[in-house]
Amino acid sequence: MTLIVTIVNELGLLQLSDSELTAPDTGEPVGTGTKLFPLVFCRGALAVAGSYVMNGTGMDDWMPQAIAEYSALDTGSVEGFARFLQHRLTEQQERGITGMLVQIAGYVRDDRGSHPEMWFVRNFDGIDPANGDYVGRSNDFGISEDYWDREYGKLLEGGHVPGQPLPSVFFFNGVAEGRISFKLLNRYYLQFLEETWRQPALGFSKPTSIEDYAQLMKHELEIIASLFRVNKLNGIGGDVQHYAIPRPKDVVVL
């Protein structure tokens, strides 16, 4: 299936993905492909997991065409594109077979400035608590905004003061074994980084750009891919792709 990760923090937005493609009928590797795509109409990007072929066309061609078509029709917004993609996927999917999850992250401008959003488009109802598999595959794609309306609100309710350091928020989807192992690894990896940064004698410091932060986060996916490779499991592998979006200068104080 794959493993895609979207991170929102005070440095900007970051998306990561493995690049392995597998055959839908056998699950065997069939090469690698692009799973991250920049949005040309705004400061944003998207990551795709699940089915890689839509209406007979691979995502490496299908998704840029969809982005270009939306760009020509509209001045562009992250929500507008998410809804455009929701309808397009619903119309063109192979019913009963297509299973897809798309994370769309970008900065949105209003009269106060820019703020981050993370839209999630998918045709699954949820996750089986017993094994972590996605369940309730539908012929209709659902949509939600999961950062600005949900997670950032939770941070404020939990006592976050705007202007203080903003904790990183992670969104991740993909094959159950990869997604669950990433959640476990992420807990200890972030703890390791924080403790390392608290040792001034070592000379290490927190990254000051989203690109530098990306270099650290890529290692997490590389570790998960190594677990799959060592155990001869298919679904996650190949080079880790990333796309970083620096925080704009007019961002709302978060």
Give the tens place of pLDDT for each residue, 115-170. 999 999 999 999 999 999 999 999 999 999 999 999 999 999 999 999 998 899 99
- Asked if 58 and 52 touch (Cβ cutoff 8 Å), the reply is yes
Percentage of the chain with pLDDT > 70?
99
Q: How far apart are CA 72 and CA 4, in angstroms?
A: 28
In the prediction, which pLDDT does 236 show?
97
Q: What is the torsion angle, in degrees rounded to the nearest 10, for the CA atoms of residue 68, residue 71, residue 76 and residue 82?
A: -40
Q: What is the CA radius of gyration of the chain?
A: 18
In the prediction, which pLDDT does 225 show?
97
| Mean pLDDT over the full length of the chain | 95
Percentage of the chain with pLDDT > 90?
93
Q: Position of tokens 């937005």?
A: 13
Sheet with 113-122, strands from edge to edge, namely: 36-39, 44-50, 100-110, 113-122, 142-145
In the prediction, which pLDDT does 76 show?
74
In the prediction, which pLDDT does 9 show?
96
Residues 55-70 have a mean pLDDT of 96
Q: Domains, the chain, ranges and CATH?
A: 3-246 (3.60.20.10)
In the prediction, which pLDDT does 72 show?
92
In the prediction, which pLDDT does 20 show?
97
In the prediction, which pLDDT does 73 show?
85
Q: Which neighbouring-strand residues pair with 169? A: 8
Residue 219 has φ and ψ, to the nearest 5°, of: -65, -30
User: Is residue 1 predicted with pLDDT exceeding 90?
Assistant: no
Reported as a pLDDT band with limits 50, 70 and 90, residue 61 is: very high
In the prediction, which pLDDT does 185 show?
98
Per residue in 157-200, pLDDT (tens digit) is 999 999 998 899 999 999 999 999 999 999 999 999 999 999 99
pTM comes to 0.96
